[in-house]
Structure 1
Amino acid sequence: MFLEALGSAILGLALACAAAYRLPHRLPSRTLVLPTGVAGALFGAFLTHTALGSATYLLVLTGALIVASASLSLLLRPTERFRRSSSAPA
């Protein structure tokens, strides 16, 4: 269980670092992105371990990766070119 938590935390941190490096213009500050990735991965590992019981280590890390990427995607802001004005066209 300890290795699952440690592995998922490292995986979430790596995913958050990669997202912060690739999309700095669409994400808030790194001080919010990095803990969100780690927390999402830990929650994903807990959720997968609870749902599947004593599943393999790879399945737990896959669940951690899925939940961490979903939680990081909630932080994304839309790009500037796709924003619409609030006023209706005349």
Structure 2
Amino acid sequence: MFLEALASVLLGLALALLATHRLAHRLPSRNLVLATGAAGALFGAFVTHSVVGPGNPLAVLAGAVVLAVASLSLLLRNSARPAFEAIRPKVG
């Protein structure tokens, strides 16, 4: 259980680092992104371990990755100019 938790936190941190590298312009501060990735992965590992039970480390790590990615996606902001503004008529 401890190794699953440690591995899931490391996976969450790796995903958060990847997100900050690729999407830095659309994310808030790096510290928040790192904390969210680690916490999301740890929570995902806990939920998956509770559902599938012990003895399935790959399933637990897969659940950790899924919830870490979902948590990180909630932090994404819109780009500077949304596409729908280009076609909306100006009033006034």
Q: How many residues align?
A: 89
Structure-2-length-normalised TM-score: 0.89
1:6-41 superposed Cα distances (whole Å, 9 cap, x missing partner): 000000000000000100000001010000000000
Identity within the alignment, %:
61
Could you say which residue in structure 1 is the equivalent of 2:20? 20
Shift of 1:81: 2.3
Question: Which residue in 2 is equivalent to 1:42?
Answer: 42
Give unpaired runs (5+ residues) of structure 2. Answer: none
Secondary structure of the corresponding residue to residue 82 of structure 1: coil
Distance in 2 between residues matched to 1:68 and 1:28, nearest whole Å: 16
Q: TM-score, normalised by structure 1?
A: 0.91
Q: Which runs of 5+ in 1 are unaligned?
A: none
Q: Residue 55 and residue 89 in structure 1: after superposition, are their counterparts in 2 closer, same or farther (change >3 A)?
A: farther
Q: Could you list the structure 1 runs, at least 4 aligned residues long, displaced by more than 2 angstroms after superposition.
A: none
